[in-house]
Chain A
Amino acid sequence: MTNTNKQLLLGNKAVARGLYEAGVCFISSYPGTPSTEVTEEAVKYDDIYCEWAPNEKVAMEAAFGACLAGRRSFCAQKHVGLNVAADPLYTMSYTGVNAGMVICVADDAGMHSSQNEQDSRHHAIAAKVPMLEPSDSAEALEFTKTAYQISEQFDTPVLLKMCTRVAHSQSLAPIGERTVPDRPYEKNIGKYVMMPGNAKRRHPIVEERTRLLTAYAETTPLNRVEMGGTEIGIITASTSYQYVKEVFGDTVSILKLGMANPLPVDLIRSFAAKVDKLYVVEELDPIIENHVRALGIPVTGKEILPLVDEFSQNLIAEAFGQKKESAYSIADAIPARPPVMCAGCPHRGLFYTLKKNKCTVLGDIGCYTLGAVPPLGAIEMTLCMGASIGALHGFNKVRGSESEGKTVAVIGDSTFMHSGMTGLANVAYNQSNSTIIIVDNSITGMTGHQQNPTTGYNIKGDPAGKIDLEALCRAMGFERVSVVDPYDLEECDRVLKQELAAPAPSVIISRRPCALLKYVRHNPPLRVNTDKCVGCKSCMRVGCPAISIRNGKAHIDNTLCVGCNVCSQLCHFGALEDSGKEA
């Protein structure tokens, strides 16, 4: 076997390569696992303009503007990001495009890094736009390019659906050349101004387009039949196809659907007619299955396969009655190893202070969501991007003085830019006595360090516009805006008490850069003075992964400790000392 001209590419990197080859000129995205690397890889091509937008809605609108102006454009987001961008999406379905536009949405079955497990195919159906669904990196690259052809041929935005196992798996993909199409911009009010009169004329065009796309789905090579044994026929897609191939090889027949919307009709009927028993193997919701049932074809799917979590080859083998056993085991209970805030994480000191003050904390989406896990256990609600502030307002409005003095919202800098500002406007406008804490670690942390409008740098790391959080909050009507260093527990405690007691809405900015940022200089690791340490475990209350108890005394892992000194402020015996040696 030769691998000439093929590269081992991460699925997301293959999409980026496809964007390059398709001549895409403009990309605007908001980071979100598992979609982030598409944009991070695309920015490495100098020929493509890339940016991080404040949120997915803005990103999609920017990409729409670029395609309207006549250049192929793109935006990427995770599944829940598409909810934020659903508003432009559903009407872009009506306007169609000028140059091609593709929207990548990455689902996270198994919730490796997400707050829900929604199936994005519902958005494609509801917005009436085509959706392609690759099953490995080669398809990710090829389908990306095909998506632009479909977009321009059928005058529609096209969704490209990734999932964690396709986005974050590397497999071989062939590399091609870049060609850049260019379309002139032409004024067309009837097509691009979606007011009722125009939209009424566009809607039938959308329905006709779906009919034409269904005809396309019958014959496109995106959907393919692999005939094998005919006792069992399986309709499948995405990563599920790979598991089916792994389990059954050529012993069954497979209809592999690369186009998730619209689904073919005749192709499915003819495939079903060739096999004795028909199955659908798809992760999450029974979308293909329900389509097959609606055609009146007997089929088995979710009777034997789960609606929840991601699939694997063993899961499918067992659903089809094959037994899978482990060869080895040990009797000991293996303690779980959940993710934790890093040693030196600036969020730790703040959450310790909130817990100490017995605050009710409404949280948000980011690394700081880990403030909910033991031993901090400080966060009591996390819903979606920006919800902390919106919910705090409602909570305080109905509970009044009972909650105002002890309830806070905690939101990160990037999440605040994404959708916290509108919640803040509501607090300022409708006047709840709410205390909002912006944990400003000067980066979008959890998705792996992306710049945002508060950092002063763009996606390439070059200087960019910088939004001043203090000035912004004041301009929105907050007279009480204070800044604290979360490494300073005394200051955090004092300011928190003061702002909770104040009879006016307030913002506390807890500011210190993420400890993992390369430019952050750390102190030498602390050292335990075992003569002074009495093993009281006070230092363990902050849940730092660098601290454990060995032989009844505190022990500091000097490969992890960054000398933030949060723990030493909790020690009543002065047992945690500067080691004085360089890290």
Chain B
Amino acid sequence: METKNIMIVGVGGQGSLLASKLLGHLLLSQGYDVKVSEVHGMSQRGGSVVTYVRYGDQVHSPIIDRGEADFIVSFEILEAARWLSYLKKDGQIVTNTQMIDPMPVITGAAEYPQDLEAKLKASGARVDALDCLKLAEEAGSSKAVNIVLLGRLSHYFDLPEDAWMASLEANVPPKFLAMNKKAFALGRDY
């Protein structure tokens, strides 16, 4: 099987490391060779962060380059736009519609682009946009944005739901499991 590429993009502190951990666990359980590349250190302090998840028969490079991503899973819509050029032809974007102003916008040095969802769609890319923060709060915690997104992503995968649940169980603390399962379902069934 040809190597498949999932990019997880967002703002430092949004919980993308848990999402990649969960995906890595899931894909490994399906017998794939898996590589996950993360960012640690200074960029995590509210900066633009990206995690690469690659899987297939044999994966070489740990990173995903321009034009290669089968999926871009975005925690914030400006970040989906930032990484758009990484999407493969006919790839799929799954994005949170939440907007978080970067510092140049806060200080007035730059403007946050308007109507990004429409512009992303107009670029020809396949875009699935949903208000994950609202759904996460509905599930019981604003921190569950990552799980809502994974729930939505699962919709595009031909994998048994049990496998997703097993990865969820293996990676979140038991006391938050029910809430996270609800967040997952809200994303999946959106």
Q: How far is the CB of A218 from chain B (nearest CB, A)?
A: 26
Q: CA–CA, A562 to B61, complex, Å?
A: 40
Report chain B residues within 8 Å CB of A381: none
A8 touches B28 (CB 8 A): yes
Instruction: Give the nearest-CB partner of A326 in chain B.
Output: B85
Quick check: A374 and B65 within 8 Å, CB to CB?
Answer: no
B33 interface residue, CB < 8 Å from A? yes
Check A1 for interface membership: any CB of B closer than 8 A: yes
B87 and A339 within 8 A (CB): no
Checking A168, A242, A312, A342 against B45 with a beta-carbon cut-off of 8 angstroms, the contacting residue is: A342
Given A340-B103, A370-B45; A169-B37 close (CB under 8 Å): yes
Which residue of B48, B67, B85, B91 contacts A337 across the interface (Cβ within 8 Å)?
B48
Cβ-closest chain B residue relative to A310: B63
Enumerate chain A residues within 8 angstroms of B39, measured Cβ to Cβ: 112, 168
B46→A339 contact, CB < 8 A? yes
For the complex, is A95 an interface residue (Cβ under 8 Å from B)?
no
A171 near B81 (CB under 8 angstroms)? no
User: At the interface, yes or no: B18 with Cβ under 8 Å from chain A?
Assistant: no
Interchain CB contact (< 8 A) of B84 among A3, A329, A374, A448 = A329
Least Cβ–Cβ distance between B32 and chain A, in angstroms = 7
Instruction: Please give, as numbers and ranges, the residues of chain B lying within 8 Å of A510 by CB-CB distance.
Output: none
- Are A171 and B41 closer than 8 Å at their CB atoms? no
Interfacial chain A residues near B11, Cβ < 8 Å = 337
In the complex, are the beta carbons of A170 and B36 less than 8 A apart? Answer: yes
**Inter-subunit contact A375/B67 (CB<8 Å):** no
B111 contacts across to A, CB distance below 8 A? 335
A448 contacts which of B40, B67, B78, B89 (Cβ < 8 Å)?
B40
CB distance from B81 to the nearest CB of A (A): 6
Give the A-B pair count, Cβ closer than 8 A: 208
Q: Is A2 an interface residue (CB 8 A)?
A: yes
**Contact (Cβ within 8 A) B48 A333:** no
Q: How far in angstroms is the closest Cβ of chain B from A252?
A: 13
Q: In the complex the two chains form, is A333's CB within 8 Å of B110's CB? A: yes
A8-B28, A326-B66 are known contacts. Are A447 and B41 too (CB-CB below 8 A)? yes
Task: Please report which residues of chain A, range 506-547, place their CB below 8 angstroms from some CB of chain B when the two chains form the complex.
Answer: 537, 540, 543, 545, 547
Contact with A along B91-102 (1 / 0, CB 8 A): 100000000111
Contact A335 B65, CB 8 Å, known A2-B31, A36-B40? no
**Neighbour of A548 across the interface among B67, B105, B119, B120, CB < 8 A:** B105
Question: In the complex, A446 Cα to B44 Cα: how many Å?
Answer: 9
- Beta-carbon contacts of A556-580 to B below 8 Å, as 1s and 0s? 0101000000000000000000000
Tell yes or no: B173 within 8 A of A by CB.
no
Contacting pair A246 B61 (CB below 8 A): yes
Complex CA gap A314/B31 in Å reads: 28
As a 0/1 sequence over residues 334 to 371 of chain A, the CB contacts with chain B under 8 angstroms (1 = contact) are 11111111100000000000000000000000010110
Q: Does B165 contact A (CB under 8 A)?
A: no
CB-based contact A329/B85 at 8 Å: yes
A429 interfacial by beta-carbon distance below 8 Å: no
Given A3-B28, A239-B62, A246-B60, the answer on whether A334 and B107 have CB atoms closer than 8 Å is no
User: In the assembled complex, which residues on chain A have CB atoms less than 8 Å from the CB atom of B86?
Assistant: 326
Contact with A along B71-90 (1 / 0, CB 8 A): 00000001101101111111
Query: Are the C-beta atoms of A112 and B43 separated by less than 8 Å?
Result: yes
B185 contacts A by Cβ under 8 Å: no
B12 interface neighbour in A172, A246, A339, Cβ under 8 Å: A339
Is the CB–CB distance between A245 and B66 below 8 Å? no
Q: How far is the CA of A54 from the CA of B13 in the complex (A)?
A: 28
Distance between Cα atoms of A113 and B107 in the complex (Å): 24
Q: CB distance A314 to B106 under 8 Å?
A: no
Binding site for A on B (CB under 8 A): 11-13, 24-25, 28, 31-48, 57, 59-63, 65-68, 78-79, 81-82, 84-91, 100-113, 116, 119-120, 122-125, 142
Interchain residue pairs with CB less than 8 A apart (8): A37-B40, A165-B62, A172-B33, A239-B61, A312-B63, A339-B46, A341-B45, A375-B107
State the A residues within 8 Å of B (CB). 1-3, 8, 10, 33-34, 36-37, 112-113, 136, 165-166, 168-172, 239, 242-243, 245-246, 312-315, 324-342, 367, 369-370, 373-375, 446-448, 537, 540, 543, 545, 547-548, 557, 559
Cβ-closest 7 pairs across A and B: A113-B41, A33-B41, A339-B47, A169-B62, A335-B110, A337-B102, A326-B85
